[in-house]
Amino acid sequence: MKLENLGEIKNSTTEIQKKSKFDGFLNFIERFGNKLPHPFMLFFYLTVILVLLSWALNLFDAKVVHPNTGETVAVKSIISGEGIQYILANTLTNFTGFAPLGLVLTMMLGIGVAEKSGLLESLMIRAITKTPKKIITFTVFFIGILGNVASDAAFVVVPPLAALVFLSVGRHPLAGLAVGLASTGIGFSANIMVAGTDVLLSGIATEVASGFMEGTVVSPLDNWYFMSASTFLLAIAGTILTEKYVEPRLGQYKGEKKSVGNTLSAMQLRGLRNSGIATGIFIAIIVIALMIPGSPLLNEDGTILRSPFLSGIVPILFLFFLVNGIVYGVTTKQIKSTADVPKIMTEAITGLSSYIVLIFMIAQFVAYFNWTNIATWLAVHFSEILETIKLTNLFAVFLFMILVAILSLFIISGSSLWSLVAPVFIPTFMALGYNPAFIQAAYRVGESSTNMVTPLNTYFAIILSFMLVYDKKAGIGTLMSLMIPYTIVFFILWSGLLMLFAWLGIPIGPGVYVNM
């Protein structure tokens, strides 16, 4: 045997060993995670720990100075007169006012009609027959990343549809679900369009930066070039990772949920045609409404940024799915009377009963976490650790991204976390000559990367319910083991892309560079 062949065998063996070690790590995560208590009980135990922690920190007079307001923020104890009054007065509103609950229920009412009428299934079949199988993964990834235009609604819409797409072509539905979750969650900040995230984050950055240097403005377009490039990078990387590692690791799908057929009847085709016409009319109405001067869908400046249209995207999407589902159902005779519509909605909500129960406990935990000020206390102290390093090169920015990725595991709201770290790090990096828009881009990379590997994510419950459709034994560990590869690969490549923009002097937005 030739020496070069021996070298190839040795390298191949080393690669297999490395892969096996990583597989072993993910298998451990899955086994460990699945041994955790039921999510309801897990959050109950976390709430008990939080109560005790709040008491201990309050006992030792834990407090921090809020970097934005300059006010002293003290940790409040739930085991106190004030804490008990808070629990009694807010238990119901913590639950009913929990934002993801209303979003999920509203979206599922509309999606339920579209699904039960057969529209979604027919769309999947149609898309599959027209889309080359080689680019299905990339297409789902790309669409999922763009889904953040619809804000958090993408978490509810894209993953289950992606699972259906994969199942329909004979691929593992959990791989499709993973693609949907990674694209909408980990790739949340990326987009080729200006979304509500750009508006929200740039507004906070402008307020902080102008306070440090008068007249400084961060526009919603200031990260556009970088985020557009990120969209293609993540879609390509996610496609390769899914097809070369994630899906092969899942093995062959042996669940009860069977693949849908690949042909449509004449009636189903008419349903899709009529639904397409309804879609065109719906979109035309929205576009015309946006073009009318003084439209109630626009903001006071007459633009779409920070407009009622963007803030009200969820009810608009609800109407979109509802109208299309009804049109398709009536055409295919799945909906024969007006009474059928609420019946279908009821069926859709019935399937969310376990999610609603779980949300009750999650809502209490999140509310207590915010009320005690522990979230603020943690964020400020983590921020100070990095600030004391006082590095002046890009490595400091990289460490900042790592810090944000860690904080994102505990503080799920991207705008809340940004409002906490921006007042500390924007002035710090501006003093070193960095553009605040560049620091904002770095924040978005770190915050998005760990979105889907923390049980504190408010959509964790609904995502688990999606998984249980295809794997009755799935648990928290299953979900985490699916998402960790994407988290690692995306963070490395995404942060590397940002560093490349910096080293090559490529603008991250129109006329916006790394340095001021």
Residue 208 located in a structural domain: yes
Quote the CA–CA distance of 49 and 53 in Å, as a whole number.
6
Torsion sign across C-alpha atoms 70, 75, 78, 82: negative
C-alpha Rg value of the chain to the nearest Å: 24
C-beta of residue 125 within 8 angstroms of C-beta of residue 168: yes
Q: Which of 231, 205, 207 is nearest to 440 (CA)?
A: 205
The tokens describing 177, both together, are 């679900």
The enclosing H or E element of 476 equals: helix 476-504
Would you state the torsion angle of the CA atoms of residues 276, 279, 280, 282, taken in this order, to the nearest 10 degrees? 160
Given a contact cutoff of 8 angstroms between Cβ atoms, the answer to whether 158 and 183 are in contact is: yes
Residue 263 has pLDDT above 80, yes or no: no
pTM (global) more than 0.75: no
Per DSSP, the chain holds a count of helices (H) and strands (E) of 22, 2
As a dihedral over the C-alpha atoms of residue 231, residue 234, residue 235, residue 239, rounded to 10 degrees, the angle is 180
Residue-by-residue DSSP string for 270-299: HHHHHHHHHHHHHHHHHHHHHHSTT-TTS-
Question: Considering the domain boundaries, does residue 25 fall inside one?
Answer: no
pLDDT tier, 32 (very low <50, low <70, confident <90, very high otherwise): low
pLDDT level of residue 30 (50, 70, 90 thresholds): low
Judge contact between 376 and 411, C-beta under 8 A.
no
Q: Which amino acid is at 56?
A: A
* 22 belongs to a structural domain: no
Residue 464 lies in a domain: yes
Residue 417: pLDDT band with limits 50, 70, 90: confident
pLDDT of amino acid 10: 45
Taking the C-alpha atoms of residue 491 and residue 404, their distance in angstroms, rounded to an integer, is 12
User: What is the pLDDT at residue 392?
Assistant: 62
- The gap between the terminal CA atoms of the chain, to the nearest Å, is 60
C-alpha distances (whole Å) from 388 to each of 239, 396, 425, 426 are 39, 11, 11, 15
Specify the number of domains making up the chain: 1
CA 229 distance to own-chain centroid: 19
Give the lowest-confidence range in 1-10, 95-104, 291-300.
Answer: 1-10
In a domain, 364, yes or no: yes
Q: What is the reported pLDDT for 1?
A: 46
Q: Is 422 part of a structural domain of the chain?
A: yes
Flag whether pLDDT at 22 surpasses 70.
no
* Residue tagged 């960790």 (tokens): 484
Task: Check residues 79 and 20 and name the one with the higher pLDDT.
Answer: 79
For residue 27, pLDDT over 90 is answered with no
| Cα torsion 450, 228, 314, 468: sign | negative
pLDDT in tens, 126-157: 765 677 878 889 988 998 888 776 656 677 77
Identify which has the larger pLDDT, 389 or 245. Answer: 245
Q: Residue 331: its pLDDT value, please? A: 94
Helix (H, G, I), strand (E, B) or coil at 74: strand
* Overall average pLDDT of the 71-81 stretch: 91
- pLDDT one-digit tens code per residue, 91-140: 999 898 876 677 778 877 887 888 788 887 787 667 656 778 788 899 88
Residue 7 domain flag: no
pLDDT in tens, 143-201: 888 877 665 667 777 888 888 888 888 889 999 999 988 998 888 888 887 776 787 78
40-76 core/surface letters (b: 16 or more CB in 10 A; e: else) = eebbeebbeebbebbbebbeeebebebbbeeeeebbb
Is the sign of the CA dihedral 273, 277, 282, 286 positive or negative? positive
DSSP per position, 77-102: PSSSHHHHHHHHHHHHHHHHT-HHHH
Instruction: Using the structure block, give the residue that is written with the tokens 């319910």.
Output: 465
Burial class (CB in 10 A: 0-12, 13-18, 19+), 506: middle
- What confidence score (pLDDT) does residue 4 get? 47
Whether 16 is in a domain gets the answer: no
Using the predicted structure, report yes or no on whether residue 377 has a pLDDT greater than 60. Answer: yes
| 446 or 21: which leads in pLDDT | 446
Handedness of CA 235, 150, 502, 409 (dihedral sign): negative
Residue 390 backbone zone (phi > 0: left; psi -120 to 50: alpha; other: beta): left
Mean pLDDT is lowest, of 22-26, 302-306, 421-425, for 22-26
**What angle separates helix 313-331 from helix 153-168, to the nearest 10 degrees?**
40
List the domain range (segments joined by +) for residue 491: 45-504
Closest by alpha carbon to 497, among 444, 452, 450?
Answer: 444
Residue type at position 414: G
Three-state SS at 434: strand
